[in-house]
Structure 1
Amino acid sequence: MQLSLRLSAIAEMVTEGNRLVDVGCDHGYLPVYLVLNKKIPSAIAMDVRKGPLSRAEEHIAQFGMERYIETRLSDGLAALSSGEGDTLVIAGMGGPLMERILTDGASVRESFGEMILQPQSDIPHFRRFIRAQGWEIRQEDMVLEDGKFYPMMRVTKAESIPPYSREEEAFGKLLLDRRHPVLKEYLLRELRIRNDIAGKLAQAPKPSAVAERLQEVKEEQQLILAALKKYESL
């Protein structure tokens, strides 16, 4: 079986031999792929909705993985106990929802050795949140698939968390350090968007009405330019 680019990148981050817990498992593609390829011994696939969980169960049965992959109807980590997994994957949902899941399930969260997280919104805030909880970002990747950019991170517990600059928090320190090619595409696209917005706001019939928004856009432009400068200087 083949995974999407996004799920393939997540699968690469999973430590071999770890028991997986996949929250928001959708069709169960990720745990099935990892067990089939003998990268993990077992998995628990969880979703808050019965429909996606049923599709995951069908997919698991299709590949004869029932002995290795358990499914659970669960709101976040509610149906999980500490110590039932080694790697926690939460992917394909908004940053605020992921933050809520990890906050509500904090006691279970702390029993994992690593988490692989792929927030789809509010990513700078999410990076700040996860590091404030004592988890350091050890690995980052970004893929472009079907016109959408997907940043993701592998995090582990850390005794000390060094500070990030604003551009590192916004766009990913490790992505910048690696000069990740997809990150550059993303930065250039975001700059084009801000330039277009700034141009339209500057032509507004009542400049005072949009002054605050124009200032915000200019600050965003400067942050993107700072990230591009850091990217090019490495």
Structure 2
Amino acid sequence: MRTEVKLSKRLERIASFVQPGSRVADIGTDHGYVPIWLVQKGVCPSALAMDVRKGPLERAEEHVEEVGLSGKIELRLSDGLAKLKAGEADTVVIAGMGGKLTCRILEQGRHVWENWSEGKERLILSPQSEQDEVRHFLEKQGFSILREAMLTDEGKYYIVIEAARGTMRPGREQDYRFGADLIRKKDPVLLAYLEKEEKMTRQVLAGLTENDAQNKKRTLEASEAGETAISRRGARINELTAYLALIEETRHEMQ
């Protein structure tokens, strides 16, 4: 008997962004749960599950065999999009990686998407960090963000981005940092995230500024090392102050 795969809240939201009938390539598939779920639910007739590591790919293969989908899900060892040919997939899922790595995978795999048609094929991305860099990359490479979702799963915050070829108007800093679509929709999860970030940033700033004079006295010696430490601390305070102002502006806009 086939066992139906149950996805985590995060993976289920990612899978929900895939359009019915899509030919999906899941990059960094790990256990292969997303492609299995998509095929089991009838969202996709078939799928590609790809990973750069042999271990996870072997586990994914075992899971695919367990549910009897060996004929519908192809497993492929690949560094990012390297082994995916142009036209093999109309939807590419990249989830669970940092933003810099996500951008590198897309840049090195431009043969897959550079000839995509406007508004048709899809990228489904869920970067775990540096989401602003991903949004900047999409804009510069001629993509348009169609929608975003933010959710919490086991106490952590996650972003899901759907993008297609198109044009994005240059945004404000908070649009890249927090997501223009989420701000526009006054997303309640984003609001909760901003509240958490504001509280944490204020605490860090308070600790830095409270001890600033004492730290200066301790480290300000006739040495380059002491001056460098003071300079770095000052830069960090300025960085956090600017981030706090951005949070407050965004929260005010969303009220």
Scaled by the length of structure 1, the TM-score of the pair is 0.96
Residue 173 of structure 2 corresponds to: 166
Unaligned runs of 5+ in 1: none
Residue 36 of structure 1 corresponds to: 40
Where do residues 162-201 of structure 1 align in structure 2 (5 Å cutoff)?
162-201=169-208
Note if contact 1:168-1:227 (Cα within 8 Å) is conserved in structure 2: no
Work out the CA distance in 2 between the residues paired with 1:168 and 1:229: 14
Choose which of 22, 28, 33 in structure 2 pairs with 1:24: 28
1:135-173 Cα distance to aligned partner (Å, 9 max, x none): 110010011111211111000001x32121111111001
Residue 132 of structure 1 corresponds to: 140
Q: Does 1:79 align with 2:88?
A: no
Choose which of 96, 100, 114 in structure 2 pairs with 1:96: 100
Post-superposition shift, 1:109? Answer: 2.5
Post-superposition shift, 1:177? Answer: 1.2
Work out the CA distance in 1 between the residues paired with 2:66 and 2:195: 43
Q: Does 1:154 align with 2:177?
A: no
SS of equivalent residue, structure 2 residue 96? strand
Residue identity matched to 2:17:
M
More divergent stretch after superposition (121-130 vs 30-39): 121-130
Post-superposition shift, 1:110? Answer: 2.7
SS of equivalent residue, structure 2 residue 49? strand
Note if contact 2:26-2:50 (Cα within 8 Å) is conserved in structure 1: yes
Choose which of 194, 201, 213 in structure 1 pairs with 2:236: 213
SS of equivalent residue, structure 1 residue 172? helix
Percent identical: 41
Residue 60 of structure 2 corresponds to: 56
Scaled by the length of structure 2, the TM-score of the pair is 0.88
1:103-144 Cα distance to aligned partner (Å, 9 max, x none): 111111235511000111111121111111001100100111
1:170-221 Cα distance to aligned partner (Å, 9 max, x none): 1001111111111111111111111001100111213582222111111000
Work out the CA distance in 2 between the residues paired with 1:179 and 1:161: 20
Residue identity matched to 1:156:
A
Q: Count matched residues.
A: 231
Note if contact 1:201-1:214 (Cα within 8 Å) is conserved in structure 2: yes
Work out the CA distance in 2 between the residues paired with 1:157 and 1:109: 9
Residue 9 of structure 2 corresponds to: 5
Unaligned runs of 5+ in 2: 221-229
Residue identity matched to 1:137:
I
